[in-house]
Chain A
Amino acid sequence: MPDSGLQSRTGTSGTAASAAIKKRVGKKDRYSKDRKVGEGTYAVVYLGRQLSTNRVIAIKKIKVGQFKDGLDMSAIREIKFLSELRHENVIELIDVFVSSGTARSLNLVLEYLSADLEMVIKDRSVMFTAADIKSWMYMTFAGLYYCHRHSVLHRDLKPNNLLLSPTGHLKIADFGLARQQPGPYDPMTPTVVTRWYRAPELLLGSKIYTRKVDVWAVGIIFAELMLRTPYLPGQTDLDQLDLTFRAFGTPTEESWPGVSSLPDYFYDPEKTSAATAASDPKSGIYPPPTREQMRMQFSAASESALDFLLKMTTLDPAKRIDTKECLETAYFKEMPAPTPPERLPRLSAKNDSDPHVGSESEGVGKNLKREKVDEIAEREKRLGDVAKKLKF
């Protein structure tokens, strides 16, 4: 029932009107911009301070040159959603300002978070336990549940977008691809989410999708936390599809009703039907993993951790659990209890002193790339052939 806001008393306190006038475009805070700490595709991030409070902040300056069509779309999305979201596990947007000067630019003032989960995973000198993983997972879902209740899909969850505060709190960041849960006639583009964390419905080209794409991504992050290496590091979209189905089985009409009518589903329906469910790797058809295989792969995982992983990575999005169910899952209730944030492992001093300069981003990915390149080319070719055969 759409009763959100039905009972809300409208109207604000008596002084709102005069305050609105007084404020006009709002009071202005001033910030210092001390040094550059990172750079993304559409922004440069600086470390700075809010001068009135001396609070350390991050200024995300949207690159100029992106301005031919006015305000940048990613920036608009990020501002639009972060202005609405206030949660312990979602990065705080403190302010937005426009700087003039030679080139006008848009600046997002964010809370400063010196590390992210990717750095922690990659820093070999950091040890972490099952309780630590549970804590990060819990904080991720607490933040994500909140986003989803606000009908906001993040659409780009990955370890590098889960930032960590000095007190160990995890905060979901980087809402540049976020959007509202679409209405029924409002298809979205399927090419979101960094490939490795992309849900199968996206890989198969579904244009109508839901919050469940975020749950999938967190499931893959969970696997990565346990393995300490990216779980499904596909090099191309097709390769990603193949890796995904190798890991979880190729979906069939039985396991996922409707899957064969998705735009990019090219598997032979004959071969994937229940009667002939036999695996046929040559055509990209794999059986679902057995429990024993899962146990071997995730040797440190408890039974309920495995259950949880499988529920988050259920291929059919309709059967995949949602964030509320995730928070209520047995995994979070059993021992060990999640580590309190302030006791979570940190980056080693070397990496923490200047987190954004020294970190070898993509290090792991690159190695994998080199090792696997032949194997991938091979798989690609095979699948490409299958795809061609079935499409024409």
Chain B
Amino acid sequence: MSSTPAAKSDDDLYREGSQYRIWSFSQSELEEVRRSVNRIASEHLAHEHQMARSAERGGEEEGVKIEYLTEGEEYEMLLHYCVKVQDAAAVYKLPSHIKATAIQYLKRFYLKYSLMEFHPRNIMYTCLFLATKSENHFISIDNFVQPLQRVSKQSIIDLEFIVAQTLSFTLLVHHAFNPIHGYFLDLQSVFADRMDEIRSAHDRARRYANDSLFSDAAFLFTPPQIALAALMMANEGLMDAYMDVKFGQNAVLLRQLKTTTERIKSYIVEGGKPKIGSERALALERKLYVCRNPEKARKRFGNGSSSESLNDSAEPAAKRVKIEQEDTVMT
């Protein structure tokens, strides 16, 4: 037994956490993950559809070529659903950090599965439901589904297991909001005479942090880094002065931080831009419907347009999911 606890830096602590260990990537890794998820799902669905057709017709056919979502389209839709999480969070009047956790759950989930395997609508509500619980803001399932249309209690309860499992049960998510608050307090002690300026920088930074939710920033950077970038965007002069006071002695670190925050800014700006419009969303929904249900789709949209609702089930498209739910206990 040592007499003093091993001195660990805050960075060491962060690196021990699941957000760093499991959910941090470089830009190219992230792209590779999404590419493979998309490819595996497309191939898998193509195979299933092929099997279904040959079983049905008892022979091969000059199959209608099904268009699967590309990884880019999946990403567009994912962000579209992140916005929907935000809208839903507003219905329950949830605090920012719970909304942010739900959005991050959703984005993490779709690093493991394709939207073509699990339709994002019910996954999105499930992520929100799970986030309320893991952030200690319990809403009963009855109250939760009450304002929702076409979402059954059971589908959320069923998917909750799958979502939690897919997230490897790492439910703790760190956001930029807390470090923004920390910097806010620290700024006040450094520049006691600039209160108003600091307060408005804080408020604007929170909005930038919110914008960052609609980008990949949280996979690529740490919450304090994002917080710093958000504050820089909110008031560059103030933050330059602050960084000089704090890190002026360490030119290398200062330069590193500046480079990092510059990079993060571009993600925040991107995240703050309006997402796809309803027309594009409908087109993507339709494409998604077709590749999930080629047979039904052919009947329904046989030749061209239909304004019928795309009420897709959230059933897993692939059988693999069932295998993964199998009991692991042997008695």
Contact = CB atoms under 8 A, between A and B. Distances in A.
B8 to A, nearest CB: 8
Interface in B178-237: 178-179, 181-183, 186, 220-225, 227-228
Residue from A70, A84, A179 having most chain B Cβ neighbours under 10 A: A70
Contacts of B309: none
A20 B112 contact: yes
Contacts, number: 197
Nearest to B27: A11
Given A11-B24, A31-B328, A71-B164, A340 B1 contact: yes
Interface string B141-160: 10000000000000011001
Interface string A136-160: 0011001001100110000000000
B1 A135 contact: yes
Contacts of A8: 11, 14-15, 20, 222
B108 to A, nearest CB: 10
A70 B20 contact: no
A156 to B, nearest CB: 15
B25 A6 contact: no
Interface in B11-49: 11, 13-18, 20-21, 24-26, 29-30, 32-33, 36-37, 40
A76 B227 contact: no
Nearest to B37: A21
Interface in B154-182: 156-157, 160-161, 164-166, 168-172, 174, 177-179, 181-182
Residue from B111, B157, B172, B186 having most chain A Cβ neighbours under 10 A: B172
Nearest to B174: A5
Interface residues of B, number: 78
Contacts of A81: 172
Contacts of A10: 24-26, 220-222, 225
B127 to A, nearest CB: 12
Given A32-B330, A81-B172, A96-B169, 14 more contacts: A1-B186, A1-B246, A4-B11, A5-B223, A7-B11, A17-B33, A33-B329, A69-B157, A71-B160, A76-B130, A97-B329, A146-B5, A183-B97, A183-B177
9 contacts: A5-B15, A29-B328, A31-B328, A33-B330, A71-B130, A80-B172, A96-B169, A97-B329, A183-B178
